[in-house]
A and B are shown apart, each in its own frame.
Chain A
C-alpha cells in the first residue's frame, strides 16, 4: 500500500490572504496524502482552515496566496498555469460545498448545470445530457430525465445536494472533496447523503476528502482522520486509532464534546476558551492557551507534526504535541 503513489500529495501548503494590516496566514504548512480508494476526513472547529485547505488546493480564490506544493496527476497545482488548473478542476478534483441551495445557479436548469463540467470540455450536448442523467439516476434523483428541466428552487434540500454531488462527479474526477456536505441538511437526509458519498467512492470511484466539524459523521465513514487546529494539522491517524487513543489534547477534547453511545451523557465536556483566530496568532503551540496539559515550554516552542512509532504496520500516526509521548488515551500518564 505504501508503495502506491498517492493520487493527491499535498506538501507544506501555506495560504495567506491580504488584510488591512498586511498578510494573514491561514494555513501553516499542511501536508496530507490521499491514496486511491481512500476516504480521509479533515476535522476541526469552524475557522480552523478546513475550507481554506479545500479551496486552495485548486486555487479557487484570487485573494489567496498559496505556497508549498500540491502534486496531482503529474503537475504541481500551486505553480500550474490557469489553463492547467481549469483542466484539473471538475475533471481531476471535484468539489461539493456546504450549502446546496447557494451552490446552484438559481436561473439555470438543473440538467444544464450537471452537464456543465462535460460541456466545458467539449463533450457533445447529447452525450453530456445522457451522462448527466445517468449520474442523477445513480444518485437517486427520481425521474431524472424530466427533473433535469427544473430549476433549483423546485428541489428539496436533500435533492439539491444530490445534484451538487452529481455536478462534482459527472466528469469522473480522481479526487472528490466534500466540504461540510451535510451541515445544511436535516439529520435524516444527512445519512442518505453520506451513504451516497460512500457508494460513490466504492469500487474504483474517487478518493474522498470529507471536511467536517462533526466527528459523529467520521467514525463509520473515513479510513483516516486528520485534525486541524489554527491552520495546522495537529494529529493524523487511522480512524480506529484516533477514536480509541487520541494523542493530542485537542483531539481528546473534540471527542469528549461529541455524544457517543458508549459513554454516559454526563461525560460530555466542552473545550474551554475560544477557537484560535488567524488574526491574533499566539506564540508556541497554538493550542496552549486552551490546553490543560500545557507546560511553560509549550508557550515558546511550536511542536512539529512527528511520526509516532506504532507496533502495527501501516498504522503510522502523526501528532504535533510536546507531550505526545507521555499522553496515553488523551491524558497525561
Chain B
C-alpha cells in the first residue's frame, strides 16, 4: 500500500470511530429524554395542549410503541436531520439552528484566534523561563484565567468597558442601520463582502467583548498545555544536542520545541473548539448575540427541554467531528505520528 492509501485507510478508520461516538451521544440524549419525569407526550406537546393534541403528539413521536422501537424511530429521525421540535415556538430545532450557526462560528473562531495568539506565546515564554519568576507569574495568571467564571467576566466587562467607559457596544452583533445583506450570516464577513467598511468596523466592535470574554479561560488552558509540552521537549536529549550546536535558547524553543509540541496543542485546540462552542451558551446570551448558545440559553429559561436536548446533541456532534479533524491534522504535522499510524514510507 502506498502512503496515500494508508493515510486514506487511517482517515476512514477515524471517521468510523467518529460515527460511533456520534451514535453514542445520540443514545445518551435518547436516555436523557427518557429521564424526563412524567408523561413525555405531555411534555412534548406543551402544558397548554388539549388531551387530543397530546394523543396526536404521542402518535406522531411514536411514543405508543415499545422502547426499542422508539429508539430505532428516534435514530431514524436523527438520520434525516430531525433534532426535535421546540415546544415553545413549535419550529423544528434544525431550522432555527441553521440560522444561528454562522454567528456562533464567527464568535468561536475569533475567540480561538485570540487565545492561540496569546496563549501559545505565553506558554512558550513560561517554558523558556522554566522555574524562574516569569514562569511563576505566567502560571498564576493562567490559573486565575482558567478559574474565571465566563458569565461573570462577561457581565463585568460589559459593565466597565461598555457601560462606564462607553468604549464598546454592549450587545448585539451590529448596530441597526449599519447591517449588510445576509450572505454567510457572519456580520463581519457579510460587511466585507458588501464592501461596507463602517459596517465591518461596527461588527468587529460588537465582537470584541464577547470574543475576549470567551477566550480568557481558554488562554489559561492553552498556555499551560503549551508550557508543559515545551518543558518536556526542552528536557529531552535532543534539546541538549541543539544547545551543543550553539543554538540560542529562543531558537531551541521556537524551531525545535514548538514543532515537537504542536501535536498536543492542535489536539487541545480542537477539543477547545467544542468546549468554546458549548460555552457560547453563557456568553451569547449576555451579549445578546443571535447564535446557537443564546438559543440554548433561551430554551433552558423557557423550559424547552426538547430544544435543549436537540442542541446538546448537535454540539456533541460538533465536538466529535472537531476531534477527528484534529487527529487528521496531527497526522499532517507530526511525522512521528504519521509513522506510528500509517507506517514509515519504504
Instruction: Give Cα A87 to B248, complex, Å.
Output: 10
Taking a contact as CB atoms under 8 Å apart, the answer to whether B246 and A120 are in contact is yes
Residues of B within 8 A of A104 (CB): 238, 241
Q: B335 at interface (Cβ–Cβ under 8 A)? A: yes
Q: Considering only CB atoms, which chain A residue lies closest to B258 in the complex? A: A107
Indicate with 1 or 0, residue by residue over B209-251, a CB within 8 angstroms of chain A CB atoms: 0000000000000000000000000001110111111111001
Taking a contact as CB atoms under 8 Å apart, the answer to whether B335 and A106 are in contact is yes
Say how far A300's CB is from chain B's closest CB, in angstroms: 39
Instruction: Give Cα A106 to B246, complex, Å.
Output: 19
Q: A267 at interface (Cβ–Cβ under 8 A)? A: no
Taking a contact as CB atoms under 8 Å apart, the answer to whether A89 and B241 are in contact is no
Say how far B251's CB is from chain A's closest CB, in angstroms: 7
Taking a contact as CB atoms under 8 Å apart, the answer to whether A108 and B256 are in contact is yes
Q: Considering only CB atoms, which chain B residue lies closest to A150 in the complex? A: B345
Taking a contact as CB atoms under 8 Å apart, the answer to whether B241 and A95 are in contact is yes
Instruction: Give Cα A88 to B237, complex, Å.
Output: 20
On whether A91 and B241 interact (CB within 8 A), knowing A151-B335, A154-B345, the answer reads no
Q: B65 at interface (Cβ–Cβ under 8 A)? A: no
On whether A86 and B246 interact (CB within 8 A), knowing A105-B260, A106-B335, the answer reads yes
Indicate with 1 or 0, residue by residue over A83-98, a CB within 8 angstroms of chain B CB atoms: 0001111110011010
Instruction: Give Cα A171 to B345, complex, Å.
Output: 31
Instruction: Give Cα A171 to B335, complex, Å.
Output: 27
Say how far B137's CB is from chain A's closest CB, in angstroms: 19
Q: A99 at interface (Cβ–Cβ under 8 A)? A: yes
Q: B334 at interface (Cβ–Cβ under 8 A)? A: yes
Taking a contact as CB atoms under 8 Å apart, the answer to whether B246 and A89 are in contact is yes
Q: A58 at interface (Cβ–Cβ under 8 A)? A: yes
Q: A180 at interface (Cβ–Cβ under 8 A)? A: no
Taking a contact as CB atoms under 8 Å apart, the answer to whether B246 and A88 are in contact is yes
Q: Considering only CB atoms, which chain A residue lies closest to B333 in the complex? A: A107
Known: A95-B241, A104-B238, A116-B247. 14 other contacts (CB 8 A): A58-B244, A60-B244, A87-B246, A89-B245, A90-B244, A91-B246, A103-B238, A105-B238, A107-B259, A107-B262, A107-B334, A107-B335, A117-B246, A121-B246
The 7 closest A-B pairs by CB, nearest first: A90-B246, A102-B237, A89-B246, A90-B245, A95-B244, A117-B245, A151-B335
